[in-house]
Structure 1
Amino acid sequence: MNLKYIIPILFITLFLTSCSNDDDEALITNEVEGLLQIQEITNSTHTIELFSKSGMFTTGYNTISMRLKDNETDSYIENASLSWMPMMQMPNMQHSCPKSSITKAIGKDTVYKGFIIYQMTNTDGTGWTLNLQYSIDDIDYTASSSIIVNQSDSQNVTSFMGSDQSRYVVALIEPNNPIIGINDLIVGIYKMETMVAFPEVTNYTIALDPRMPGMGNHSSPNNTDLSYNAADHLYHANLSLTMSGYWVLNLKLMNDQDEVLKGEDVTENNDQSSFYLELEF
């Protein structure tokens, strides 16, 4: 072939190859588009990147995305199996918190996803450690780091001892962006079996009575009690918010025998349940 034809072909090939590599890199970057990095946890072989929409851990329900990067090749791992164990160090003990399994994020090649519910933190955010265990091609690895868990502005999680002498953790999951009108209220309920085991609670009921303390403690119409949904293992209800502002979601937890485990009705002589969550918008 004549040289004058070969040279243009080489330039075209190099250009297409360069574009292909750029596209591949952009694809990986875009898999965490819209998320902010919380921090990295590193060992001698891998770097685990942790992401969320807010870019921080807070008390309450946290949806967490993560990627594993090979420190030698700078490539992201697509075939890892992961688990985690958050631990909080108290003065005389340590405990974990409710958490999900970690699975591959839907439609993603390099992103893994799960949730952690931090029920408490220290005033400066310290006290928590996140321990990760993972395997790649049947080789096991571990990584661990201290983390900062910030206190949420409102009470979006509560922990208490029920009348059955079991400790429960209840977390607000939705709505993230409340509206004036009917909102989808979603709550998770977990029972503390051991210091590290917090299984989901099924088939209980939570009575709901939302009130605005700053507006005469008025309620709202068309609310429903929270009931268990077997599809997502969470509790769902209709939450009616008639105006913006500060709302207290007064709650009453009942087991599958309709026995009250925590909480009281709001009456003329009792303006708030001892079991509640908060919303402000």
Structure 2
Amino acid sequence: MKIIKILFTALILSTTFFSCSDNDNDDPIVISENPLEDYNMLTSFTANNHSVEIYSEQQQFTVGYNELFFRIKDDASDSYISNAEVSWKPVMHMTSMMHSCPNSTVSKTNDASVYTGYTVFQMPGNADEYWEMTIEYTIEGQTYNATERIEVRTPLDGKKTVNVFMGSDDTRYVLAMMPMNPEVAVNDFAAMLFKMENMMSFPAVENYKVHIDPRMPGMGNHSSPNNKDLFFNTSSGIYMGKLSLTMTGYWKINLKLENESGEILKGEDITEENESSSLFFEIEF
């Protein structure tokens, strides 16, 4: 069992985490063991005589949802900073523009030297276009900034877990599938929905509905019983439903996005003439 656990339960994301230490001072603390030793360090960079370490359960920064953890080390004392005030901003540098992506506020975990949040990267980097992560942190009233280029890649399995699209309401949306361990069963299934307010702001969208229609294209495009569409959960801030997978293999989760007025903003029904929606996720297990 991993040492660090945050209160994401049943794939529920919220801004409620384990409380931090009773020590509210921004003092460096010396920890003999790394509380993130079971995670993968994705990058480490130095600035302001500090080292910033970013960790994840994943092996890389990935297009789609990324749950990230990080620590800030005082290089002079070789100790980690506890209870700092931290924020971040991921920015994609394209050849003709810059934009950010949906991301959470940064919160402390049950270990006061470990901070956490999530990002939803919409696209991978390449030789000419790349992501940068800027982390701003305040220690004892002094504010610092650290910026580093990061390598965001397509998922290792090549499957689609995020959709970026223009709805029929002329609003650009980002719909991201939450991580899951699929089984031959009726699985908990969840997603997050954001809209692009401007190039740097992606607020969450509430009270819509995500219709799901899972199909196996390689098996006659058959579906499955007992699926439940995704409805917005006010306590978690995510869309939750049920996904029925009746056998192992490749599944395309066809989607339709419906707004509060019952209008379909994106996605189509599956029929004999139309075997796939333009809005979908992919799973293979």
Question: Is this a same-fold pair by TM over 0.5?
Answer: yes
Structure with higher RCO (Cα < 8 A, 6+ apart): 2
1:237-266 deviation line (CA, Å, top 9, x unaligned)? 000000111100100001000111000000
C-alpha deviation, 1:110, in angstroms: 1.1
- Aligned partners of 1:34, 1:125: CA distance in 2, in Å? 33
Structure 2, unmatched stretches of 5+, are: 1-29
What is the distance in 1 between the residues matched to 2:255 and 2:167?
Answer: 13
Structure 1 residue ranges without an equivalent (≥5): 1-23
Provide, for residues 205-224 of structure 1, a one-character-per-residue CA deviation record: whole Å limited to 9, x for no partner.
01110000000000000000
TM-score for both structures, normalised by structure 2: 0.87
Provide the residue aligned with 2:159 in structure 1: 154
Q: Is the 8 A contact 1:89 1:95 kept in 2?
A: yes
Matched, 1:279 2:283: yes
Contact 1:128 1:149 in 2 (8 A): yes
CA distance in 1, matches of 2:93, 2:204: 23
Structure (1 or 2) with the greater helix fraction: 1
The two structures, once aligned, show a CA RMSD in angstroms of: 1.3
Equivalent of 1:179, from 178, 183, 192?
183
How far is the alpha carbon of 1:232 from its aligned partner? Answer: 1.1
Q: 1:168 aligns with which of 173, 185, 194?
A: 173
> In structure 2, how many angstroms separate the alpha carbons of the residues matched to 1:213 and 1:253?
21
Q: Taking every aligned residue pair, what percent have the same amino acid on both sides?
A: 44
Q: Give how far 1:123 is off.
A: 4.8
Q: 2: distance between equivalents of 1:81 and 1:265? A: 47
C-alpha contact 2:93 2:129 (8 A) present in aligned 1? no
Structure 1 residue aligned with 2:254? 250
Q: Distance in 2 between matches of 1:253 and 1:278?
A: 16
Question: Residues of 2 paired with 1:181 and 1:276: CA distance?
Answer: 20
Deviation per CA, 1:88-132, whole angstroms, max 9, x where unpaired?
111211100000000001x21211000010011135695111111
Q: Runs of 4 or more off by more than 6 Å in structure 1? A: none
CA contact (8 A) 1:209 1:251 kept: yes
Q: Which residue of 1 aligns with 2:103?
A: 99
CA deviation string 1:60-99 (max 9, x = no partner)? 0000000010011111001211111111111211100000
Within 5 Å, which residues of 2 pair with 1:1-281? 25-26=31-32, 28-29=33-34, 31-105=35-109, 107-123=110-126, 127-152=130-155, 153-175=158-180, 177-281=181-285
**Structure label with greater radius of gyration:** 1
Q: Give the direction of change, closer, same or farther, for the CA distance of 1:60–1:125 in structure 2 (3 Å limit).
A: farther
Q: Which amino acid in structure 1 is aligned with residue 91 of structure 2?
A: M
- Residue deviations 1:165-214 (CA, integer Å, cap 9, x gap): 00000111132x11000111010000000101000000000111000000
Question: 2-side partners of 1:230 and 1:124: how far apart?
Answer: 41
Q: Which amino acid aligns with 1:88?
A: M
Across the two proteins, how many residue pairs are aligned to each other? 254
Alpha-carbon distance change, 93 to 257 in structure 1, aligned in 2, over 3 angstroms? same
Partner of 1:256, secondary structure, is: coil
